[in-house]
């Protein structure tokens, strides 16, 4: 027992260390966003600002349509995530639990799209959207996200691992596949659905290259594209002196919504299935 | 899963055929909504992108078919091979940490420890940070003279490390940032996978007198294998296509020491506006990853 | 059971229908269309887009200017977009492809060739602006031409200069009003300003290079390191490329000499810290006493009340005065609507005339009248003085590839080989020449 407590203690310390290491860069982001521009690069590093200022936040909100971009990002991320969860889990159900000719090939084709770097399909995609007159709309940002591949990949894997026996009694009761999907598979898959939801939300939220090409006006601009107006951290310094304060304040505001979403969804990472259902 | 054994009477065979056909119809219904968006917005542009590699196209103007000329030029392109080698090196130093570290963290966080919700949130949090901000934060941390890292290393007696300005160290620095940035992603995949392991298997193991370590070896690991392979695949895809963190931290330097394949692709397609050539680089990335996927599939089958 | 299946299909169709129907809605509300006719047809407002790569304090200055223009001109509404240059150019190309480029686009003189040869820029617009050569600095004016045609209106120039920390100068017994003018003086001053923990200088025995408290000089080691070399090459009256732009023109020993001199600052004289990532940050935090950087740093320095600083001209290391510089010029992408072009020309001319206010961004206006009013802004004088001998990079279609700021880049490779890795100057010079020629000799 004593030994167990000790190993628990070691694990605990380990976890705390890793957490601290991961937190440090973010703590710096937060505290620096509350410093004036000239104090941000103070050496030696100061963790607690001498005088707190919300000026950086005020400037970002005042000068730019930050809230407008944020609303755009939220709408796009929420709609995208919603459709990804439905479309991907339907497709994953078919790919994992239904038998049909060419299933393996179709799955391979879908997953193989992950192997193509986004940079090379962005121009054809843009020309396509321009052709159907949908550039600079929400749909230009939502539709490509709906064609999410990672979600199908993850969900199929998880659905396939659910024992077949679980649906058998339901089938005997006359349930069709749709009800099995809705009432048996989905409830059992809360952890992976939450994971897919978070991943989709974040990637929609942070996506830069495609929204940069596909949007032109504040009507559809998302946060990363909007923020690029005053962000310059790229290594190939382009002659503009960076303004760290505004960028950091904007990022803190941009990080918060995603962290809240994560916080809400993460309770599903605790064991949702208490039993495999095979027992009885 | 597989097609049932049909070496029985024609009657039964017919019945199975009917079920099979019905499954096919149901499958189509389930797949249809996804397939529509997939074909229009992913497969179509993807194939168009791959085909672009057989053209000379400056985005402005129309693409001109040049056959395999881009690929021939690519094979003799010194920069491409440097980028290829650098990318493999990056993959080899970052992917193992990202997979095994994430697995360890997921298992640790899956324990009933106080404060695990906090730890989980903190470790996942970097994943939501935008690339540019990752650049600002880590450029500062790694700064040789004013950076956080060297400041604290000094107390440990380590001299000034040139994290981003030495060609020997820069790729390691980028790998560390990558682990910080993206490991939370792998961790939640493992966490989701861990929740799929039926509790009663652990209970049975406990009844059999298994220690925590034995439970891990005999229950957790084997059942986590599908998730493990999936995480490996996604990590390899991500690492092989590494771009953002390099772009914001070193721009591929010093010299060409951190130039990666996708950065070279980006440079050719969007700075040099040579989309055909850039797409050819993309095609090579596609082929390499297909080969990797086939190898992994073979290993998985042998394991099974 | 069948009913349920039908219901399921129905739901899906509904969902998909909502998506596709919704698609057409936001389009109508988007102000993508640059032109909005007035209700009664009396007064029309021309909407134009104006893009520039100003993502720092310079962007704020330009936003203020554009606001003022919008107020003064009720018939034109300008929308300014700022973004890093690389993604901005990416957008310029894609938007041009679909017929929707900005009406006014800022770039550097060396970018003109690439976009002119791609057919993006309108060569006739600048002529109609009615700006005259004698209103502008000659170097800046020349930078608006490519292939004999004027593509742009000059806005500003920005070049390297020396920033000094006044207090450190005084402590070392030097006078900030009397900055180094030659290479020897620069090394001498920098040596005096480099101090280790025991108060020793690099030219004294026992100097501890691993424990330096204050460095004499900071300088960039990315593509700007090449710009330093470019200045030193011009100081030897050598040209980088020949007139065709297809071949390098400089002598080997001149190139080597320049690289050697730069490398020795770090590795022989020990007055520049090796492996700097952000030289201006080091200067601001009091680690270095001098730094070579551009005028875009001026607004940031003006906000540093604790730091007493001044600027000085880039020293003459070799035979003649020369310094690297670049410029911002205003170009006219080909727009379909003549009204848009007219508005863009009006805006460009207005900005050039009001470029005195643009000087707040640090950049030095190319307009001669605007230059006169800058004396009360700190630090500008040294930059204005360098205007006549500022050398800009040659304007060639392969600029993006030859002079790339990120890898693969022959110039960054050379700069970092010398300044970060202490490689042999003659090998580096040869490697850089080969790298450049492989790119520029292509058709």
| Angstrom distance (rounded) from CA C166 to CA C307 | 8
Residues in chain B: 304
Instruction: Name the token pair of A128.
Output: 């396509």
Q: Which of A137, A213, A240 shows the shortest C-beta gap to C56?
A: A240
What tokens appear for C286 in the block?
A: 């009091």
Q: Cα B47 vs. chain centroid, distance in angstroms?
A: 21
pLDDT at C51: 97
Give the separation between CA C338 and CA C351, rounded to whole angstroms.
20
The answer to whether residue B15 is domain-embedded is no
Residue B53 lies in a domain: no
Residues of chain B in contact with residue C210, where contact means CB-CB under 8 angstroms, are 159-160
DSSP A226-238: HHTTT----SS--
B88's CB contacts (< 8 A; 6+ apart) are: none
| Residues of chain C found within 8 Å of residue A142, distances taken between Cβ atoms | 19
Q: Is A248 strand, coil or helix?
A: helix
Any A CB within 8 A of C5 CB:
yes
Instruction: Please give, rounded to a whole number of angstroms, the shortest distance from the CA of A38 to a CA of chain C.
Output: 6
Looking at the domain assignment, is residue B278 inside a domain?
yes
Q: Which part of chain C is CATH 3.40.190.10? A: 44-159+327-391, 161-324+395-440
Which residue in B has a C-alpha nearest to residue C119's C-alpha?
A: B60
CATH number at residue B112: 1.10.3720.10
Full domain range(s) for residue B182: 74-303
Residues of chain A positioned with their CB less than 8 A from the CB of C222: 235-237
CA A64, CA A224: separation in Å to the nearest integer? 13
Nearest beta carbon to residue B24 from set A101, A123, A273:
A101
* B271 → chain C, closest CA residue: C400
Tell me how close the Cα of B293 comes to any Cα of chain C, in angstroms: 29
Q: What is the nearest CA distance from C108 to chain B, expressed in angstroms?
A: 15
Q: Give SS3 for C77.
A: strand
pLDDT of residue C32: 43
Cβ–Cβ below 8 Å for A38 and C81: no
d(CA B158, CA B143): 15
For residue B53, the chain A residues in CB contact (below 8 A) are 120
CB C278 within 8 A of CB B146: yes
Best A226, A238, A244 member to test C by mutation, with max C CBs in 10 Å, is: A238
Please say whether the beta carbons of B263 and A245 come within 8 A: no
Q: Which among C119, C285, C407 has CB closest to B259? A: C407
- Take residue C107 and report the two structure tokens written for it: 């770039």
Assess A82–C contact: CB distance below 8 Å, yes or no.
no
In Å, how far is B99's CA from the nearest CA of chain A?
A: 15
Q: Is residue B66 part of a domain?
A: no
Residue in B closest to A229 by C-alpha: B132
Size of interface A-C (CB pairs under 8 A): 143
Per CB-CB distance under 8 Å, the chain A contacts of C299 are: 241
Cβ–Cβ below 8 Å for B36 and C16 = yes
Domain count, chain B: 1
Average pLDDT for C126-155: 90
- Give the tens place of pLDDT for each residue, C34-52: 444 444 555 689 999 999 9
Mind telling me how many Å the CA of C320 is from chain B's nearest CA? 30
**Nearest-Cα residue of chain B relative to residue C218:** B145
Does the pLDDT at position A64 exceed 60?
A: yes
Detail the DSSP E strand segments found in C183-342: 195-196, 212-218, 288-293, 309-312, 323-331
How confident is the model over A139-155, as pLDDT tens digits?
Answer: 999 999 999 999 999 99
Question: Among residues A34, A15, A68, which one has the least CA distance to residue A227?
Answer: A68
Q: C91 and A213 in contact by Cβ < 8 A? A: yes
Looking at domain C161-324+395-440, its CATH architecture is 3-Layer(aba) Sandwich (3.40)
Residues 6+ apart with CB under 8 A from B21: none
Helix (H) or strand (E) segment spanning residue C76: strand C76-82
**In contact, A106 and A152? CB cutoff 8 Å:** no
A123: chain C residues, CB-CB within 8 Å: 94
Write the secondary structure of B50-86 as one string of H (helix), E (strand) and C (coil). Answer: HHHCCEEEECEEEEEECCCHHHHHHHCCHHHHHHHHH
DSSP labels, C93-155: HHHHHTT---SEEEE-HHHHHHHHHTT-B-SSTGGGGT--GGGB-HHHHHTTEETTEE-EEEE
Q: Do residues C50 and C78 make contact, with C-beta atoms less than 8 angstroms apart?
A: yes
Q: Which chain B residues touch C276 with a CB distance below 8 Å?
A: 144-145, 165
Which has the closest alpha carbon to B117: C217, A238, A259? A259
Give strand pairing partners of C52: C82
Domain range annotation of chain A: 1-53, 55-269
3-class secondary-structure state, position C83: coil
At the topology level, CATH places domain A55-269 in MetI-like fold (1.10.3720)
Q: Residue A173 above 70 pLDDT? A: yes
Architecture of domain C44-159+327-391: 3-Layer(aba) Sandwich (3.40)
Q: What is the pLDDT along chain B (304 residues), one digit of tens a residue?
A: 444 454 556 777 676 666 667 788 899 999 999 999 999 999 999 999 999 999 999 999 899 999 999 999 999 999 999 999 999 999 999 999 999 999 999 988 888 777 888 899 999 999 999 988 899 899 989 999 888 999 999 888 887 899 999 999 999 999 999 999 999 999 999 999 988 887 788 888 888 888 878 888 888 888 899 899 999 999 999 999 999 999 999 999 899 999 999 999 999 999 999 999 999 999 999 999 999 999 999 998 887 6
User: Which of C52, C422, C55 is CA-nearest to residue C268?
Assistant: C422
| Tokens (6 digits) for B283 | 């095609």
- The token pair that represents C185 in the structure block: 């003086």
Residue of C nearest to A181 (CA): C8
> Whose structure tokens read 């104090």?
A39
């Amino acid at each position: 027992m004593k030994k167990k407590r000790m190993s628990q203690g070691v694990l605990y310390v380990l976890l705390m260390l890793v957490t601290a290491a991961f937190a440090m860069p973010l703590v710096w982001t937060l505290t620096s966003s509350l410093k004036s521009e000239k104090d941000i690069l103070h050496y030696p590093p100061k963790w607690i600002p001498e005088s707190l200022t919300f000026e950086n936040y005020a400037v970002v909100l005042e000068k730019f349509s930050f809230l407008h971009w944020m609303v755009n990002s939220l709408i796009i991320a929420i709609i995208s995530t919603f459709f990804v969860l439905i479309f991907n889990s339907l497709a994953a159900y078919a790919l994992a639990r239904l038998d049909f000719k060419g299933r393996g090939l179709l799955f391979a084709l879908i997953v193989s799209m992950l192997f193509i770097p986004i940079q090379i399909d962005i121009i054809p995609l843009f020309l396509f959207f321009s052709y159907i007159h949908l550039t600079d709309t929400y749909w230009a940002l939502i539709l490509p996200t709906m064609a999410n591949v990672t979600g199908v990949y993850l969900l199929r894997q998880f659905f396939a691992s659910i024992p077949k026996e679980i649906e058998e009694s339901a089938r005997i009761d006359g349930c069709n596949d749709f009800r099995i999907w809705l009432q048996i598979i989905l409830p059992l898959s809360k952890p992976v659905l939450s994971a897919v939801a978070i991943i989709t939300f974040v990637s929609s939220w942070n996506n830069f290259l495609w929204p940069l090409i596909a949007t032109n006006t504040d009507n559809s601009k998302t946060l990363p594209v909007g923020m690029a107006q005053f962000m310059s951290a790229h290594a190939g310094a382009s002659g503009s002196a960076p303004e760290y304060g505004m960028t950091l304040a904007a990022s803190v505001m941009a990080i918060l919504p995603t962290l809240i979403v994560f916080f809400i969804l993460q309770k599903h990472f605790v064991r949702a299935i208490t039993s495999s259902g095979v027992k009885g | 899963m597989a097609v049932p054994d049909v070496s029985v009477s024609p009657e039964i065979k017919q019945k199975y055929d009917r079920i099979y056909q019905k499954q096919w119809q149901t499958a189509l219904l389930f797949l249809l909504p996804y397939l529509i968006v997939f074909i229009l917005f992913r497969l179509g542009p993807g194939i168009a992108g791959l085909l672009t590699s057989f053209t000379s196209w400056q985005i402005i103007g129309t693409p001109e078919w040049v056959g395999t000329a881009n690929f021939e030029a690519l094979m003799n392109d010194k920069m491409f091979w440097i980028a290829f080698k650098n990318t493999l090196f990056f993959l080899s130093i970052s992917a193992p940490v990202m997979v095994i570290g994430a697995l360890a963290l997921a298992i640790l966080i899956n324990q009933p420890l106080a404060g695990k919700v906090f730890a989980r949130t903190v470790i996942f949090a970097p994943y939501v940070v935008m690339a540019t901000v990752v650049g600002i934060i880590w450029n500062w941390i790694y700064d040789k003279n004013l950076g956080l890292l060297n400041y604290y290393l000094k107390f440990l007696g380590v001299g000034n490390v040139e994290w981003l300005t030495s060609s020997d160290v820069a790729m390691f620095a980028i790998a560390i940032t990558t682990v910080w940035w993206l490991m939370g992603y792998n961790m939640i995949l493992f966490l989701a996978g861990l929740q799929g392991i039926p509790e009663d298997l652990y209970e049975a193991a406990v009844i059999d007198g298994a220690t925590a370590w034995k439970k891990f070896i005999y229950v957790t690991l084997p059942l986590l294998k599908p998730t493990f392979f999936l995480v490996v695949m996604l990590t390899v895809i991500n690492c092989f296509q590494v771009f953002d963190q390099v772009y914001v931290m070193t721009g591929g330097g010093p010299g060409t020491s951190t130039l990666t394949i996708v950065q070279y692709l980006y440079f050719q397609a969007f700075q040099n506006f040579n989309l055909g050539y850039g797409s050819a680089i993309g095609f090579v990335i596609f082929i390499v990853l297909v080969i990797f996927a086939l190898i992994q599939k073979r290993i998985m089958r042998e394991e099974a | 059971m069948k009913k349920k299946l039908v219901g399921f299909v129905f739901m899906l169709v509904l969902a998909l229908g909502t998506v596709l129907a919704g698609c057409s809605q936001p389009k109508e509300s988007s102000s993508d269309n640059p032109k909005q006719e007035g209700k009664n047809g009396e007064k029309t407002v021309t909407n134009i887009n104006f893009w520039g790569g100003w993502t720092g304090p310079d962007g704020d200055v330009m936003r203020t200017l554009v606001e003022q223009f919008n107020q003064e001109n009720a018939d034109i509404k300008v929308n300014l977009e700022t973004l890093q240059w690389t993604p901005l150019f990416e957008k310029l190309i894609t938007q041009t492809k679909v017929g929707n480029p900005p009406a006014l686009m800022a770039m550097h003189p060396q970018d003109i060739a690439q976009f002119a040869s791609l057919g993006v820029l309108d060569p006739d617009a600048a002529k109609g602006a009615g700006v005259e050569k004698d209103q502008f600095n000659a170097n800046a004016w020349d930078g608006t031409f490519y292939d004999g045609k004027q593509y742009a209106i000059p806005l500003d120039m920005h070049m390297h200069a020396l920033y000094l920390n006044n207090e450190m100068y005084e402590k070392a017994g030097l006078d900030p009003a009397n900055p180094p003018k030659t290479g020897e003086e620069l090394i001498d001053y920098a040596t005096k300003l480099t101090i280790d923990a025991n108060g020793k200088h690099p030219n004294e025995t026992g100097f501890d290079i691993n424990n330096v408290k204050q460095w004499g000089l900071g300088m960039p080691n990315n593509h700007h390191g090449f710009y330093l070399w470019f200045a030193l090459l011009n100081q030897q009256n050598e040209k980088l490329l020949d007139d065709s732009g297809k071949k390098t023109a400089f002598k080997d020993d001149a190139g080597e000499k320049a690289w050697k001199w730069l490398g020795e600052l770090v590795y022989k004289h020990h007055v520049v810290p090796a492996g700097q990532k952000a030289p201006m940050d080091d200067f601001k935090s009091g680690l270095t006493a001098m730094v070579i950087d551009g005028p875009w740093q001026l607004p940031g320095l003006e906000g540093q009340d604790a730091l007493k600083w001044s600027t000085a001209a880039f020293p003459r290391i070799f035979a003649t005065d020369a310094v690297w510089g670049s410029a911002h010029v205003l170009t006219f992408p080909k727009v379909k609507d003549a009204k848009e072009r007219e508005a863009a020309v009006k805006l460009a001319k207005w900005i050039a005339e009001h470029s005195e206010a643009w000087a707040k961004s640090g950049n030095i206006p190319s307009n001669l009248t605007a230059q006169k009013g800058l004396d009360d802004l700190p630090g500008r004088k040294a930059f204005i003085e360098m205007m006549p001998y500022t050398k800009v990079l040659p304007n060639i279609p392969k600029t993006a590839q030859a002079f790339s700021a990120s890898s693969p880049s022959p110039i960054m490779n050379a700069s970092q080989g010398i300044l970060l890795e202490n490689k042999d100057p003659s090998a580096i010079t040869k490697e850089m020449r080969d790298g450049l020629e492989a790119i520029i000799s292509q058709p």
